[in-house]
């Protein structure tokens, strides 16, 4: 009982709408970053809707070549960011991962109704799954937003 109560009060303290906006912004940033990465360096999506990072098969680089590959701060920040998102999404259950990847992490922007029809679930179930996935992602990425304490008047 104590643990369950703590979990519920923890969620009650979060601002659902602002947390949702933060997760959507994070996923949109991921989608934009995808546009700057060559296809061969993008994670593959497996049948079980997991993001598998690319494997670097050419391990023989000179230090100069390695420095050139990783020279830009933007690329390093982008790669670290995308890895954080990938790890967080892979922690979701299969249905949540499928929903998030299909809706937010593909090049083709899709609408909610396209995703829930493709997944064979109802609209209401889609939004319930998405809400749970968003909370999990928000906490995994540490971007949850808490309600402002109202100052006494």
Task: Kindly report, residue by residue over 91-133, the tens digit of the pLDDT.
Answer: 999 999 999 999 999 888 899 999 999 999 999 999 999 999 9
Of residues 3 and 25, the one with the higher pLDDT is 25
Q: Any bridge partners for residue 52, and if so which?
A: 44
Question: Where is average pLDDT lowest: 2-6, 70-74, 92-96, 135-139?
Answer: 2-6
Summarised one tens digit per residue, pLDDT across range 30-45 is: 999 999 888 887 888 8
Helix (H, G, I), strand (E, B) or coil at 107: coil
pTM of the model: 0.77
Entry field: residues in the chain: 153
- The C-alpha angle 113, 128, 141, rounded to 5 degrees, equals 100
Q: Which residues 6+ apart lie within 8 Å of 126 measured at CB?
A: 99, 112, 115, 116, 119
- Give residue limits of the domains in the chain: 15-53+61-141
């Amino acid at each position: 009982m104590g643990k369950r109560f703590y979990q519920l009060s923890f969620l009650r303290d979060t601002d659902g709408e602002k947390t949702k906006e933060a997760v959507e912004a994070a996923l949109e940033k991921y989608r934009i970053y995808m546009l700057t990465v060559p296809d061969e360096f993008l994670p593959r999506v497996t049948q079980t809707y997991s993001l598998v990072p690319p494997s670097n098969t050419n391990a023989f680089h000179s230090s100069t070549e390695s420095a050139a590959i990783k020279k830009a701060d933007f690329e390093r920040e982008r790669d670290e960011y995308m890895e954080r998102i990938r790890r967080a999404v892979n922690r979701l259950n299969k249905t949540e991962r499928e929903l998030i990847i299909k809706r937010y992490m593909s090049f083709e922007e899709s609408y909610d109704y396209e995703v829930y029809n493709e997944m064979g679930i109802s609209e209401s179930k889609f939004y319930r799954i998405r809400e749970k996935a968003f909370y999990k992602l928000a906490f995994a990425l540490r971007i949850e937003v808490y309600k402002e304490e109202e100052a006494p008047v």
